[in-house]
Amino acid sequence: MTWVLVAVGGAMGSAVGALLMRRPTGTRLLLATAAMCGLMGLLSAQLLSPKVTAVLGYGVLGSAASMVTMAVASPMWVGGDAPVHSTVSVTKRLAVYCVVGVTFALLGYLAVRGGETLFKKLT
């Protein structure tokens, strides 16, 4: 049953990813990465049922994130130094997207944990 839920979530995530990738600009890709990683941080901090986690976490966010990752691929250059240019370009982009992803995943996680702690202290 879990695999069916992941497949349904994957179909929904593919639709979301396709909408995000209609006109992939650098800003749109960074915002999509930030949103997906923030939501993954939120989901990892919450204790949800395994069914909800399968649909939202693994299905929707997993497939939408993979579509954004495919759009991040940079164009290849033609020439003798093409491998060097391509490697440097991919490394720079990967570093930026990793920093954005980790930052927003941490912010999502801390938002839930901090809100939970504040709620417990105030009540």
Residue whose entry in the numeric block shows the structure tokens 């995000």: 20
> Do the Cβ atoms of 74 and 86 come closer than 8 Å?
yes
Question: What's the pLDDT at 119?
Answer: 92
Q: What is the pTM of this model?
A: 0.73
Q: Which of 22-26, 50-54, 71-75 shows the lowest mean pLDDT across its residues?
A: 71-75
Tokens of 85: 């240019």
The pLDDT, as a whole number, for residue 44 is 80
- Quick one: pLDDT at residue 22? 77
Per-residue DSSP letter, 1: -
Question: How many whole angstroms separate alpha carbon 75 and alpha carbon 56?
Answer: 32
If one compares 19 and 76, the residue with the highest pLDDT of the two is 19
For residue 123, the model assigns a pLDDT of: 84
